[in-house]
Structure 1
Amino acid sequence: MTALDLVQRRLSRFAERETQGVSPLYEHLAVRAADDPEVAGLLTAAPEHFAHATLFLAAAHRLVQAEPFHALTDYYPSLGGTYGADERTWPLFREFVLERADRMRELIATRSTQTNEVRRAALLYPAVAMVKGPVGLLEVGCSAGLLLGLDQYGYRYQTEQAGQLVAGPAKAALGLHCALELAPGAELPRIPKSVKVAAKVGLDRAPADLTDEDTYAWLEACVWADQPERLRLFGVAAGVQRKSPPVFVTGDAVDDLAAAAAQVPSELPLVVVTSSVLAYLPAADFVRALRGLDRPVWWVSHEGYSEALEHVLPGRDDLGAGDTASGVLGLVRFEAGEVVSAKALARTALHGQRLVWLP
């Protein structure tokens, strides 16, 4: 498989599995890019591990941001566009990115997808709440660390059985809504009103500085362009984070995990969080690094089954089957390098819209 073959396949898979019914614009663009070697070839500038459709589309989004009067902005709701994808969209897009091919390749080669999908906090909250607090949170692949603010957000979980379940501070600046459904045989989880977090640490190879204008613009570009509500939530969460920023550690998710964990006081339960990160990492090595930490660890994972829980909870093929645009919320406890407990808590919609609680 050549590098071009790889990126074309990833673009096609992204269009088929992640965008249908979610992002008409990105589905339209990814389908056509996958069939256009000249356009898809731009993505080969990225290291293989990072050469995903989301990076390609974020780079294009960033360049469109920089030219707000270009005709292509008519198709970008994030920039005020109101047109749906039509026969002009792809020709305009193709011409735009190929005319700026050098700038596209530079962004693709030097940046990584840093999606700060703050709605995922609603998925993580019930799992973190299962660890008796106050806890120390360590988010791996944190980007700007917005998920580390999960104790500061308000939550509304809509259920069929009990109506709306409310959690989080009463006057939270950011409110998140999430559907909470039950799989056959499951019972509603207990969702406490608050989670106590005494330390917040983010580990990333390039932590995002929200005070830097160019960095902030790149994080906005990583939000899918036809989902302006996600962009609004990002802006509100960024404001919350600026008032109480976490401790950031620059480093590798595997090699520097122990150094980042050491930033969490030893008297606090250590809760390591990953959310849609392990697709970009050697997952088996990461799990070994978790086992190697010299203290008890709780791992809250929101990943695809094969990328996370399969390494500690094998044989659950049911969790890996079906819609690849969904994830699995897991809670694993390690002590002295051994798995003390491992549980799949829920199936999820990857952007935080839905939890399907498991028995």
Structure 2
Amino acid sequence: MAAASLEEIRHHLRWFADQHAAQTSPLYSHLAGHASDDDEIAGLLTAAPTPEAVSATLLLAAVQRVLQSEPFHELTNYYPSLGGTYGPDAALWPLFRSFVLARADRVRGLIANHVTQTNEVRRAALLYPAVTLAAKQAGKPVGLLEVGTSAGLLLGIDTYAYRYQTQQAGQLAAGPPRAPVGLHCALELAPGATLPSIPKRLSTVTKIGLDANPVDLTDEEQYAWLEACIWPDQPERLRLFGAAAAAQRKAPPELVAGDAVDDLAAVAGRIPADVPLVVLTSNVLWLFTAERRRAFVDALADLAAVRPLWWVSHEGYLGGLDLLLPDRDDLRAGDGEQVFGVLGLVRWSGGRPAATALAKTSLHGERMEWLA
């Protein structure tokens, strides 16, 4: 498989700086923007394991991981995650560039042997209304199978507390009242939409995570990599990751190493066949080729032919939902528009999929817009 070209990498870095990070991460927008004009820095991403794995977040996570091991370096002044208080200024890029190039082999090695594995806990607040809707349709407790689970923190979805801030009904609360992790999400309504019914509790029977490389949070290096994948000027994300990781250690889910397509049926078979199965994916299918995404959706359909199954997806529109809901230009981010995710729910009946786009979302779980 051919590596991504330097031109493609530079284009991605510029897109990330201007459309993905511009409104949420001044630090990463600044760094990615400069990297897009620097062949030596951008070129480090040619070491990514696959063209699909190429991302600004992979480069920046690798740099942050190296910086974690040098906590007294001047560059840490710009990283709130490492105690820094400086905002982006004229001195940042020259300092960043010299730091990275002096450690280029270490950065390149991390890029070659990792993928972005952000275990963003706040996405549970996006998934919760869809998973509870699937459970309501099932009429009984469900089994959860998360594909691309990383460390499995989203499998704690039934143990977290949620507060949805709405204009129409104030704050809606769900989840256990004394939960170890509390998540907040702004819930807005698209024209013509009505507030979803959000049950107080979600009842699960079994929870399993499937990942090509599951993360063991008891391993210091693996834990540090997940920390490095969190954007450094978003400390709330880091705090929630730590809280969820601590809670998970008390009741870890089963995590299985395997392929999302080839091993899906075997892993699903660990959940009793009479238990309604909810398959979760969250910001993982962008790492797949188009052919592999198609194969994944086909594998879900095969499973649905032999057991009750729902697919809850939080991906970009082209992350698989487009295969079941074609020609939905309203679910694509337009030129210059802030990137957003799409929360989808798919249910198979009689071999036919019924797919619904439930909401447009921020990628890290801060807000969602419920659709009509």
TM-score range, shorter chain: over 0.9
Aligned AA for 2:328?
Answer: R
Q: CA deviation at 1:2?
A: 5.8
Distance 1:249 1:186 in 2: 39
Write the deviation string for residues 49-92 of structure 1: whole angstroms up to 9, x where unpaired.
21111100000000010100000000000000000011111111
Report if aligned partners of 1:210, 1:238 keep a CA contact under 8 Å in 2: yes
Q: Determine the structure 1 residue equivalent to 2:323.
A: 311
- Within the candidate set 295, 320, 326, 2:340 is matched to 326
Task: List runs of 5+ in structure 1 lacking aligned partners.
Answer: none
Name which of structure 1's ranges 12-21 and 143-152 shifts more when overlaid on structure 2: 12-21
Distance 1:12 1:285 in 2: 31
- Within the candidate set 190, 194, 198, 2:201 is matched to 194
Q: TM-score, normalised by structure 2?
A: 0.94
Q: Determine the structure 1 residue equivalent to 2:309.
A: 297
Distance 1:277 1:336 in 2: 28
- Give SS of 2:248's match: helix
Name which of structure 1's ranges 260-269 and 154-163 shifts more when overlaid on structure 2: 260-269
Distance 1:228 1:319 in 2: 29
Question: Would you say 1:44 and 2:46 are equivalent positions?
Answer: yes
Q: Determine the structure 2 residue equivalent to 1:25.
A: 27
Q: CA deviation at 1:334?
A: 2.0
Aligned AA for 2:130?
Answer: A
Distance 2:273 2:96 in 1: 52
- Within the candidate set 210, 218, 234, 2:217 is matched to 210
Report if aligned partners of 2:230, 2:237 keep a CA contact under 8 Å in 1: yes
- Within the candidate set 262, 269, 285, 2:295 is matched to 285
Write the deviation string for residues 286-340 of structure 1: whole angstroms up to 9, x where unpaired.
111111213221000111112221111112211114335211111001246431x
Structure 1 moving runs of 4+ over 4 Å: none
Q: Determine the structure 1 residue equivalent to 2:71.
A: 68
Report if aligned partners of 1:295, 1:335 keep a CA contact under 8 Å in 2: no
Write the deviation string for residues 7-46 of structure 1: whole angstroms up to 9, x where unpaired.
1111111111110110000000000111100111111101
Report if aligned partners of 1:296, 1:336 keep a CA contact under 8 Å in 2: no
Aligned AA for 1:17?
Answer: Q
Aligned AA for 2:62?
Answer: A
Q: Determine the structure 2 residue equivalent to 1:114.
A: 117
- Give SS of 2:348's match: strand
**How many pairs were matched up?**
358
Q: Determine the structure 1 residue equivalent to 2:134.
A: 131
Distance 2:77 2:369 in 1: 37
Write the deviation string for residues 149-169 of structure 1: whole angstroms up to 9, x where unpaired.
010000000011110000000
- Give SS of 1:307's match: coil
- Give SS of 2:222's match: helix
Report if aligned partners of 1:295, 1:336 keep a CA contact under 8 Å in 2: no
Q: CA deviation at 1:250?
A: 0.5
Report if aligned partners of 2:4, 2:46 keep a CA contact under 8 Å in 1: no
Report if aligned partners of 1:297, 1:335 keep a CA contact under 8 Å in 2: no
| CA RMSD, Structure 1 to Structure 2 (Å) | 1.2
Task: List runs of 5+ in structure 2 lacking aligned partners.
Answer: none
Aligned AA for 1:26?
Answer: Y
Cα separation, partners in 2 of 1:67 and 1:336, compared to 1, 3 Å: farther
Q: CA deviation at 1:265?
A: 1.8
Q: Percent identity?
A: 63
Q: Determine the structure 2 residue equivalent to 1:5.
A: 7
Report if aligned partners of 2:13, 2:35 keep a CA contact under 8 Å in 1: yes
Cα separation, partners in 2 of 1:108 and 1:321, compared to 1, 3 Å: closer
Name which of structure 1's ranges 116-125 and 287-296 shifts more when overlaid on structure 2: 287-296
Q: TM-score, normalised by structure 1?
A: 0.97
- Give SS of 2:122's match: helix
Distance 1:215 1:249 in 2: 16
Distance 1:325 1:197 in 2: 32
- Give SS of 1:102's match: helix
Q: CA deviation at 1:267?
A: 1.8
